[in-house]
C-alpha cells in the first residue's frame, strides 16, 4: 500500500507540474512553512501553487461534478496525506471554466467541492476537517478561450486552513 501511495503521489506530481500558478499571494512574513513529502505546506497555501504539502488539485470534465478514475486516484493520495497529518484542515474550492452563467457556475463549483469532500470522507477523512466553497468561474488559473485553458480551470483546489 505504501509503495502504491508513493507511486500515485509521484505520478500526480509529474502530471501537475505544468498546471501550477502563482494566483495566490501570501505575506511571507506571516507564513510558516513546513516540509511534507518534499512539498511545502503553508498556512493558506494551496494545491494550485504547490504550497499545500502533498495535496494535489483535481480536475473535472466539462459541465460535470463526477469524479473520474484519475480524479479518484489523486483524491485517494490526498486522503492518505490527510489521514497521516491529522492536524491539517483544508478548504476545498470548486472552480469552473468561463463558459456558462455566473449562478450556474457557482452551483457547479459547489457540487464539485462537495463531491471531493464526500469522497474524502468516504475514504476515512474526518468531515470536520474539510470545508467547501465555490468560486465558479471567478478565479481562473489559465487564461484563454480554448479547451487547454478551460480544462485547467475546471478544478477542485485544496487550501490549508489549519496545520
Please report, for the chain, the start and end positions of each structural domain, with discontinuous segments joined by +.
2-162
In tens digits, what is the pLDDT along the chain, a chain of 163 residues? 444 444 444 444 433 433 333 333 333 333 333 444 446 889 999 999 999 999 999 999 999 999 999 999 999 999 999 999 999 999 999 999 999 999 999 999 999 999 999 999 999 999 999 999 999 999 999 999 999 999 999 999 999 999 9
pTM score of the predicted model? 0.76
DSSP element (H, E) containing 130 = strand 130-136
Residue 57: φ, ψ to 5°: -65, 145
**Which letter, b or e, does each residue of 66-75 get, where b requires 16 or more Cβ atoms within 10 Å of its Cβ?**
ebeeebebbb
* The CATH number, out of the four listed (3.30.70.980, 3.40.47.10, 3.40.50.1370, 3.30.1330.60), of the domain defined by the range 2-162: 3.30.1330.60
Amino acid at each position: 500500500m505504501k509503495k502504491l501511495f508513493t507511486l500515485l503521489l509521484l505520478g500526480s506530481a509529474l502530471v501537475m507540474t505544468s498546471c501550477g500558478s502563482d494566483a495566490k499571494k501570501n505575506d511571507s512574513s506571516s507564513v510558516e512553512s513546513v516540509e511534507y513529502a518534499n512539498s511545502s505546506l503553508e498556512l493558506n497555501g494551496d494545491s494550485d501553487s504547490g504550497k499545500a504539502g502533498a495535496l494535489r488539485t483535481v480536475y473535472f470534465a466539462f459541465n460535470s461534478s463526477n469524479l473520474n478514475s484519475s480524479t479518484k486516484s489523486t483524491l485517494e493520495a490526498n486522503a492518505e496525506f490527510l489521514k497521516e497529518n491529522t492536524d491539517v484542515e483544508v478548504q476545498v474550492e470548486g472552480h469552473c471554466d468561463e463558459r456558462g452563467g455566473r449562478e450556474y457556475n457557482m452551483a457547479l463549483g459547489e457540487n464539485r467541492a462537495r463531491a471531493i469532500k464526500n469522497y474524502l470522507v468516504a475514504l476515512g477523512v474526518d468531515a470536520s476537517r474539510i470545508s467547501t466553497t465555490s468560486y465558479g468561474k471567478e478565479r481562473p488559473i489559465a487564461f484563454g478561450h480554448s479547451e487547454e485553458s478551460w480544462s485547467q480551470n475546471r478544478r477542485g483546489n485544496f487550501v490549508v486552513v489549519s496545520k
